[in-house]
Amino acid sequence: MAEITLKSLAHTYLSNPTAPEDYAIREMDHVWHQGGAYALLGPSGCGKSTLLNIISGLLEPSSGEVLFDGEVVNDLPPEARNIAQVFQFPVIYDTMTVYDNLAFPLRNVKTPEARVHERVMEVADVLELTDQLKRKAKNLTADEKQKVSMGRGLVREDVSAILFDEPLTVIDPQLKGKLRRKLKEIHQRFEITMVYVTHDQLEASTFADKIAVMYEGQVVQFGTPRELFERPNHTFVGYFIGSPGMNFLEVMARDGQVMAGNTELRVGKHVHDAVAQARSAHIKLGIRPEFIEVHAEPVESGMEARVEHAQDLGTYSIVYLTLGSMALKARIGEDQATPSGKAWLRFPDERLGLYVDEYRVEIDHE
């Protein structure tokens, strides 16, 4: 088992990189602690697989170091790193039985057969594969195959960490939840460091205690699902996490007011002062759709908006609004009547986030 440290790590697939965009991994430092259940979440192409392949040793980074428990492993080949990697598509031997597939990684390192048997039975039990052990792998369903693939990762006791690269892609939607819970159970039972790559926020938050959100080759926030929701550190996290994502308004302070385009935003003094002090041309206020107050009648400090349409999603509705020239989404509970025509909005100060050059800056509310 291991703590995995990435030190000044960067990677490019190009031979002559010149700009930051030329890097699949932009220089970063990161620590995955021993025994943690982590997710690496981000859109397609942000560098997730590149990062996993660097950790497992399939790819040599352009610069920087990978350390396991403080030891640099850059020069170690994948087989010497004791990292198990589970890919999108199951990697198993079709002509072997499930038992032999699970036993393979142990027999490969000359484990005594009695111990092989114990471990195979234990892992098969956890993955509910005991009844399938005698079957040939080629006759299994896609999800059974993927379970065998995971089992092959789990079976070795000396494994430092398991890296899952979108392992549920080929699994039926109704079985995904079940397998995710299984992985969680395995994590608790084997106390192993697990990094789970996905572009699905639900998958990430049901599996992981902490999520690293990746964007354009960088980890822009590493936090609990709750922290990512309540205090997104970067506009991308606000936008990517939540359903729908956070609203962002480009703002500036002018004549003692906070303006979004030509619309005055009714915000408190502390928010105004924070906007006024920001030294950048790229200042945004962010508010989650859940935290916009939507009133059907005029209210004190309410900002008049136009209701474009509403989408009823059962336990809540999403209301699409236009404030000045800006489109906003608000999320209201089923107990609240959906406004039509006009609505009056309030942004509670404590729910507003200030973003300067895309990164969050704390507002002093004292």
Ligand X SMILES: Nc1ncnc2c1ncn2[C@@H]1O[C@H](COP(=O)(O)OP(=O)(O)OP(=O)(O)O)[C@@H](O)[C@H]1O
Q: Given the rule CB under 6 A, which residues bind ligand X?
A: 13, 24, 42, 44-50, 199
CA-wise closest residue to 152 among 88, 102, 100: 102
DSSP string, 286-299: EE-GGG-EEESS--
Q: Which is nearer to ligand X, 46 or 103 (CB)?
A: 46
Q: Which is nearer to ligand X, 44 or 325 (CB)?
A: 44
Q: Which is nearer to ligand X, 87 or 104 (CB)?
A: 87
Q: Which is nearer to ligand X, 198 or 263 (CB)?
A: 198
CB of 214 to ligand X, least distance (A): 7
DSSP string, 239-273: HHSSSS--EEEE-EEETTEEEETTEEE---HHHHH
Characterize 97-117 residue by residue with b for buried, 16 or more Cβ atoms within 10 angstroms of its Cβ, and e for exposed. bbbbbbbbbbeeeebeeeebe
The one-letter amino acid code at 303 reads: M
Q: Which is nearer to ligand X, 28 or 319 (CB)?
A: 28
Q: Which is nearer to ligand X, 88 or 338 (CB)?
A: 88
CB of 47 to ligand X, least distance (A): 4
Asked if residue 329 lies in contact with residue 320, where contact means CB atoms within 8 angstroms, the answer is yes
CB of 143 to ligand X, least distance (A): 20
DSSP H helices, the chain, are 48-56, 78-81, 98-108, 113-126, 142-154, 173-190, 201-207, 225-230, 235-240, 269-277
**CA–centroid distance for 48 within its chain:** 10
CB of 66 to ligand X, least distance (A): 16
Q: Which is nearer to ligand X, 215 or 347 (CB)?
A: 215
Burial class (CB in 10 A: 0-12, 13-18, 19+), 170: middle
CA-wise closest residue to 185 among 237, 240, 127: 127
CB of 44 to ligand X, least distance (A): 3
Cα gap 89→96, rounded to integer Å: 17
305 - beta bridge partners? 343
- How many CB atoms are located within 10 Å of the residue 64 CB? 17
CB of 37 to ligand X, least distance (A): 20
Q: Which is nearer to ligand X, 24 or 124 (CB)?
A: 24
CB of 42 to ligand X, least distance (A): 6
Asked if residue 146 lies in contact with residue 170, where contact means CB atoms within 8 angstroms, the answer is yes
CB of 341 to ligand X, least distance (A): 42
CB of 166 to ligand X, least distance (A): 7
DSSP 339: P
Asked if residue 334 lies in contact with residue 315, where contact means CB atoms within 8 angstroms, the answer is yes
Q: Which is nearer to ligand X, 37 or 46 (CB)?
A: 46
